[in-house]
Structure 1
Amino acid sequence: MTRRAAVTRRLLPLGALLLLAAPLAGCGLHSGTVIPSDLGPGTLGKGLPLKGVTLTIASKNFTENVILAEMMGLVWTAAGATVVDRTNISGSIGARQAIVSGTADGMYEYTGTAWITYLGNTKPIADPQRQWQAVHDADLKNGLTWLPQSRLNDTYALGGNAANVAKYHLKTLSDVAALSKSNPSAVTLCVDNEFGVRDDGLTGMEKAYGMSIPKSNIRTMDAGIVYTTLSAGKSCLLGDVYSTDGRIPALKLQVLDDDKHFFPNYDAAPELYSKAVREHPAITGLLDPVSAKLDNTVAQQLNSKVDVDGQDPRAVARQWLIDKGFVVPKK
């Protein structure tokens, strides 16, 4: 999904201009370096199956994708590998090319991004597993191997101040469509620049749901400001949010159900350089249990630690892996 390259979802710590857009804390601090080998096997990596192997991780330049890549690298490190950190690549295309070319061996990618942006399809597949399978099969010819997806679906959504949403009894996007017809002036939207023009954003959503929102009721702004404005609850009833963004729980925003399943599935899954998988098949078994534990709630919590609390993405990934017992600190 190209918005993940074009829009960075980052925050200052809460005490400093809460939730305004700012550079992602920690990103870029590690890129190009070797991940320290200060972790050992927990439930993963026993027997050091990657001992003597050198691997490289990559990511796009936004919080969640960096955290997921760091998880990948840390698990490989605990299994004995030397891992080079090439995270924080600008642009979805650039990050993918790093894997296609073998410059990097793995990253977490999103099924919807691959299906629509890279593979050139225009219609998403509604069933998450079928979409993953289609991407998996199509990308084999590109020298890429997709491992099983997680339940982390980082897609668009509409959200708003909880009190405002309750005032109008909004639970679904169909409710918004009904309100836009019965009381057009009530439906005011704050949207970021890209969502406002994308077919899988505002334009397509209005068409799919039959919404009648006056253009004068739609305000375009920076993605970070959308969250701040929604939290204040004065200028906009609703706005576009990303379903795994840590600002949603931090600001107690209410997210509406996409009851017609308009927005595509963007399920995160490891995308690996196929040659690396053939040469080091152990890497797949190391990552499957990690992906199985990832969902939107976990992503929101981890993203918030970086975007709201100002923690380092690698440190956040490391602690989560330790807490899950996947790895342990070396003594």
Structure 2
Amino acid sequence: MFSRPFRQTFTLLAAAALSITTLSACGSSDAVEAGSAGDELQGTKYIIGSKDFTENIVLGKLAVHLLKAHGAEVVDKTNLGGTVANRKALESKEIDMYWDYSGTGWIEFLKNTEPIQDSAEQFKATAEADLEKNKIRWIGPTPLNNTYALAIRSEKATELGVKTVSDVAELARTSPKDVTICIETEFSTRDDGLPGLSKAYDMNIPKNNISLLDTGVVYTETDKGETCNFGEVFTTDGRIAALDLTVLEDDKKFFPIYNAAMTLRDETYQKSPAVEKVLQPLIAKLDDTTMQELNAQVDVEGMEPGKVASDWLGKQGFLGSDGAA
């Protein structure tokens, strides 16, 4: 798609965008008038968290602006940390809600080892079990499926002859020096991450071939091809297309389905069930294409997540006549 000189320029732009995201993700200067879209949540107060990668921060900002526009008092604690940090904060009442993913709930929180391949059944099973066992309610799901994948530079994929994860496993047996991989720390320990993937594909990657990096750096290093040939990516990430990375087919269908949904304690939900009515129209519009575009505005164009969220909500008519930032 792009020449190598363009890619090198993009790497610098992406690094700058990541710096902007890190500095600004915890707060936004965008002003959304409380109650501009309705008063269903008047008198409520919510502390909204998010994980620390672009998509989840953008989702968090969407909720911050939307709930405020419907009359809620909102405390923005987006970019709080990883999955464990947010879940613990939710359970301990440090935050009231954050977006999580059905596959994460099923594997990480409910400790199941086998994903359910049908997305509707996966979400239903996750939501029902988490509510029953942990009193955590899931509002959703979104159409978007932000599952894990392995990606590689397109020209390198052609050179190595890899199209599927099974091809990578075979390459690890025949030419282990070529199977270098960049991943996040969290992916290195999760059952639905590298340990489970390696077991499912009988894939042995030497420890010296595995580099643990921050999310954004995984993409840029995979694009460079110096630290690693393969990288852990999220399928709704806008940088995949921008960097002309090839996503390898999960031919054994190891990775679970990860439909995003808002998670909150049931006691919080019961105090104001109207929060579901407010969120559902937003949830219905968040498909893969939409999320890739929003993610790219942050990671490729360098926009601030809060502005991306409020601009999109305004264009979609979610903020009322006075709510666009």
Length-normalised TM-score, structure 1: 0.80
Shift of 1:179: 4.5
SS at match of 2:14: coil
* Matched-pair contact (CA < 8 Å) for 2:34–2:71: no
TM alignment of 1:147-186, pairs within 5 A: 147-180=139-172, 183-184=174-175
Q: Which runs of 5+ in 1 are unaligned?
A: 1-13
* Matched-pair contact (CA < 8 Å) for 1:34–1:85: no
Q: Which residue is equivalent to 1:26?
A: 24
* Closer/same/farther in 2, CA of residues 329 and 316 from structure 1, 3 Å limit: farther
Q: Which residue is equivalent to 2:33?
A: 37
Q: Which residue is equivalent to 1:256?
A: 248
* Matched-pair contact (CA < 8 Å) for 2:151–2:230: yes
TM alignment of 1:183-194, pairs within 5 A: 183-184=174-175, 187-192=178-183, 194=185
How far apart, CA to CA, are the structure 2 residues paired with 1:101 and 1:216?
Answer: 36
Q: Partner letter of residue 113 of structure 2?
A: T
- Which has the larger share of helix? 2
* Matched-pair contact (CA < 8 Å) for 1:58–1:95: yes
Residue identity (%) = 39
Q: Which residue is equivalent to 1:10?
A: none
Q: Deviations over 1:34-83 (max 9, x none)?
A: 97426732xxx4xx322333333222233222211121121222222222
Deviates more, 1:248-257 or 1:53-62: 53-62
SS at match of 1:19: helix
Deviates more, 1:310-319 or 1:126-135: 126-135
How far apart, CA to CA, are the structure 2 residues paired with 1:326 and 1:193?
Answer: 34
* Closer/same/farther in 2, CA of residues 170 and 325 from structure 1, 3 Å limit: farther
Q: Partner letter of residue 283 of structure 2?
A: S
* Matched-pair contact (CA < 8 Å) for 2:172–2:203: yes
After superposition, the CA RMSD in angstroms is 3.0
SS at match of 1:130: helix
Q: Partner letter of residue 26 of structure 1?
A: S
Match of 2:280 among 283, 288, 291: 288
Q: Partner letter of residue 33 of structure 2?
A: S
How far apart, CA to CA, are the structure 2 residues paired with 1:235 and 1:53?
Answer: 49
* Closer/same/farther in 2, CA of residues 209 and 120 from structure 1, 3 Å limit: closer
* Closer/same/farther in 2, CA of residues 290 and 212 from structure 1, 3 Å limit: same
* Matched-pair contact (CA < 8 Å) for 1:187–1:238: no
How far apart, CA to CA, are the structure 2 residues paired with 1:28 and 1:19?
Answer: 19
Q: Which residue is equivalent to 1:4?
A: none
Length-normalised TM-score, structure 2: 0.81
TM alignment of 1:136-151, pairs within 5 A: 136-141=127-132, 142-151=134-143
How many residues align? The count is: 309
* Closer/same/farther in 2, CA of residues 299 and 119 from structure 1, 3 Å limit: same
TM alignment of 1:67-82, pairs within 5 A: 67-82=58-73
Q: Partner letter of residue 12 of structure 2?
A: L
Q: Partner letter of residue 70 of structure 2?
A: A
TM alignment of 1:209-248, pairs within 5 A: 209-211=201-203, 215=206, 218-223=209-214, 224-233=216-225, 236-248=228-240
Q: Which residue is equivalent to 1:104?
A: 95
